[in-house]
Structure 1
Amino acid sequence: MVTLSDVAKQANVSKMTVSRVINHPEQVTPELRCLVEEAMTALNYHPNAAAKALANNRTNVIKVVILEDIDTTEPYYMSLIFGIAKGLDKEGYALQLVTDRAHLTGGNRADGYIVTGERARDIPLLEQLNQPFVIFGENRYGFDYIDSDNKAGTALATNYALAKNYQSIVFIGLDVKESFEYSREAGYINTLQQHKKIPQIYRLANHSRVSQAFINENWRKFAPDTCFICASDRIAVGVERGIIENGGDVPRDFGIIGFDGVFLDQVANPQLTTVKQPVQQLGELLARMLLQKLAQSGAQQGELLVTPELITRGSTRE
Structure 2
Amino acid sequence: MVTIYDIAKKTGFSVTTVSKALNNYADVSEKTKKLILEAVEEMNYFPNSSARTLTTKKSWTIGVIFIESLGIGIKHPFFNEVIESFKQSVEMYEYDLLIVSRNLYNSKKSYLDHFRYRGVDGVVVVCSNVDDEQVKELMNDPIPSVVIDLSSETSSVVFSDNRLGSKMAVDYLYSLGHTKIAHIAGHEKTFAGQQRLQGYLESMKTLSLDVVEDYVVDGDYFSHEGGYLAMKQLLALESPPTAIYAASDSLAIGAIEAIRDHGFDVPKDFSMIGYDDIALARYMNPKLTTIRQNTHEIGQKAAELLLKQINTKEKLIEQVKIPVELIVRESCRKL
Shorter-chain TM-score range: 0.7 to 0.9
Instruction: Work out whether residues 170 and 229 of structure 1, in 8 Å CA contact, stay in contact via their aligned partners in 2.
Output: yes
> In the TM superposition, what whole-angstrom CA distance separates every residue of 1:287-306 from its partner, at most 9, and x where no partner exists?
11100111221231411111
Instruction: Work out whether residues 3 and 45 of structure 2, in 8 Å CA contact, stay in contact via their aligned partners in 1.
Output: no
Q: Which 10-residue stretch deviates more, 182-191 or 108-117?
A: 182-191
> How far, CA to CA, are the matches of 1:240 and 1:315 in structure 2?
9
TM-aligned CA distance change 1:165 to 1:132, over 3 Å: same
TM-aligned CA distance change 1:240 to 1:223, over 3 Å: farther
> How far, CA to CA, are the matches of 1:223 and 1:87 in structure 2?
50
- Identical-residue share of aligned pairs (%): 23
- The higher radius of gyration belongs to 1
User: SS state of the match for residue 132, structure 2?
Assistant: helix
Instruction: Work out whether residues 251 and 317 of structure 1, in 8 Å CA contact, stay in contact via their aligned partners in 2.
Output: yes
Give the letter aligned to residue 142 of structure 1: T
- The one of 259, 272, 279 equivalent to 1:263 is 279
> How far, CA to CA, are the matches of 1:217 and 1:41 in structure 2?
60
TM-aligned CA distance change 1:23 to 1:45, over 3 Å: farther
Unaligned runs of 5+ in 1: none
Partner of 2:150: 138
- The one of 87, 93, 96 equivalent to 1:94 is 96
| TM-score (structure 1 length as normaliser) | 0.83
Asked if residue 226 in structure 1 is aligned to residue 242 in structure 2, the reply is yes
The two structures, once aligned, show a CA RMSD in angstroms of: 3.4
Partner of 2:62: 62
> How far, CA to CA, are the matches of 2:330 and 2:59 in structure 1?
49
* 1:217, distance to aligned residue in structure 2 (A): 4.1
* 1:236, distance to aligned residue in structure 2 (A): 0.9
User: SS state of the match for residue 290, structure 1?
Assistant: helix
Give the letter aligned to residue 67 of structure 1: I
> How far, CA to CA, are the matches of 1:97 and 1:26 in structure 2?
22
Instruction: Work out whether residues 22 and 52 of structure 1, in 8 Å CA contact, stay in contact via their aligned partners in 2.
Output: no
User: SS state of the match for residue 145, structure 1?
Assistant: strand
> In the TM superposition, what whole-angstrom CA distance separates every residue of 1:4-35 from its partner, at most 9, and x where no partner exists?
6667889999xxx83586269999x99xxx9x
User: Aligned runs of 1:76-155 on 2, under 5 Å?
Assistant: 76-100=78-102, 102=104, 104=111, 105-106=113-114, 108-117=118-127, 119=129, 120-122=131-133, 123-127=135-139, 129=141, 131-155=143-167
Partner of 2:183: 171
Unaligned runs of 5+ in 2: 106-110
Asked if residue 18 in structure 1 is aligned to residue 15 in structure 2, the reply is yes
| TM-score (structure 2 length as normaliser) | 0.79
Query: What is the count of residue pairs matched by the alignment?
Result: 308
Partner of 1:204: 219
- The one of 226, 229, 233 equivalent to 1:213 is 229
User: SS state of the match for residue 102, structure 1?
Assistant: coil
Instruction: Work out whether residues 140 and 179 of structure 1, in 8 Å CA contact, stay in contact via their aligned partners in 2.
Output: no
